[in-house]
């Protein structure tokens, strides 16, 4: 395993490198005081780190700016932010960081992060029986959900948005931090948003249980996901190559949710823009 460590403070960089080395003595570790030097190492020397531990607030190229460029320079690299400010965690997840740890580094937290990103892929969830009823979702235009043709009612508006977000993820797992960054973009209090998520999850489970679809929601190790095969929606059919779904897409996708703009743009350039 190749690990990069970036921190502009020399003493902290030495300490962080030592802690990470103690957790993974088998890893090759390279240290940098400037994010620009780490980026140059990737671009010029062709090195592709498996994991990058990076400070966020740094002169010159910040950790956030580095993370954006890393996605192009080395897409398979995982970036974990090291910060003394918990409020930066949500900003990290908005640019699709893979984790964060607070300073000073705790070996147990470092081990957890490294174990999470190097563990074998989890087995596929059990598939729903063929012919089993599915929840119907309309993602093109305004997002809406139906059960046997009748709009599904939610106690809270944000509960419906949580379901929309999980459908947008196509069955992939989402952490509480990722959900927080999407649903409460301007809220920096992680403890507050995690409490809100617990309320929404319980509300969503109650709603799904009411129609006998509680198994649609997956909760594992604090992560959330949905069983893709239990949902029938224009978005999934489009991704699966269904011509009717592709032709029905006019560039509008889950319009009421700002976080959906990224997917909307990706679908547009993949299926509509041929220039």
Residue 29 has pLDDT above 90, yes or no: yes
Total H helices, total E strands in the chain: 11, 11
Q: What is the residue extent of each domain of the chain?
A: 2-118, 135-271
Residue 122 pLDDT > 50: no
pLDDT tens-place string over residues 31-73: 999 999 999 999 998 899 999 999 988 999 988 889 888 878 8
**135-271 shares the fold of 2-118:** no
φ, ψ for residue 226 (rounded to 5)? Answer: -120, 155
pLDDT tens digits along 146-192 = 999 999 999 899 999 999 999 999 988 888 888 988 999 877 777 88
Q: What's the confidence (pLDDT) of residue 121?
A: 41
CA separation, residue 227 to residues 46, 79, 124, 135, 137 (Å): 38, 27, 10, 11, 13
Q: What is the architecture, at CATH level 2, of domain 2-118?
A: 3-Layer(aba) Sandwich (3.40)
Residues 254-260 have a mean pLDDT of: 94
Which fold would CATH assign to domain 135-271?
Arc Repressor Mutant, subunit A (1.10.10)
- Rounded CA separation 258/262 (Å): 9
In this structure, of 37-41, 80-84, 136-140, 233-237, the range with the lowest mean pLDDT score is 80-84
The pLDDT assigned to 70 comes to 87
């Amino acid at each position: 395993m190749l690990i990069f460590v970036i921190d502009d403070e020399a003493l902290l960089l030495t300490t962080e490198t030592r802690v990470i080395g103690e957790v993974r003595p088998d890893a090759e570790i390279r240290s940098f005081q400037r994010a620009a030097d780490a980026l140059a190492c990737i671009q010029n020397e062709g090195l592709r780190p498996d994991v990058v531990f990076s400070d966020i607030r740094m002169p010159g190229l910040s950790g956030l700016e580095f993370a954006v460029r890393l996605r192009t320079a080395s897409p398979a690299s995982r970036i974990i932010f090291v910060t003394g400010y918990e409020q930066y965690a949500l900003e990290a997840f908005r640019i699709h960081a893979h984790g964060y740890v607070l300073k000073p580094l705790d070996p147990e937290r470092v081990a957890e992060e490294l174990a999470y990103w190097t563990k074998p892929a989890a087995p596929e969830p059990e598939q729903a029986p063929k012919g089993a009823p599915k929840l119907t979702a309309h993602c093109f235009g305004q997002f809406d959900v139906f059960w046997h043709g009748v709009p599904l009612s939610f106690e809270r508006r944000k509960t419906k948005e949580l379901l929309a977000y999980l459908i947008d993820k196509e069955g992939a797992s989402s952490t509480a931090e990722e959900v927080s960054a999407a649903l409460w973009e301007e809220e920096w209090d992680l403890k507050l948003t995690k409490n809100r998520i617990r309320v929404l999850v319980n509300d969503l489970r109650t709603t799904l249980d009411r129609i006998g679809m509680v198994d649609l929601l997956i909760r594992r190790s604090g992560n959330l996901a949905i069983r893709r095969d239990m949902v029938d929606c224009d978005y999934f059919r489009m991704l699966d190559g269904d011509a009717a779904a592709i032709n029905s897409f006019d560039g509008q996708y889950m319009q009421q949710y700002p976080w959906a703009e990224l997917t909307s743009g990706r679908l547009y350039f993949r299926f509509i823009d041929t220039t």
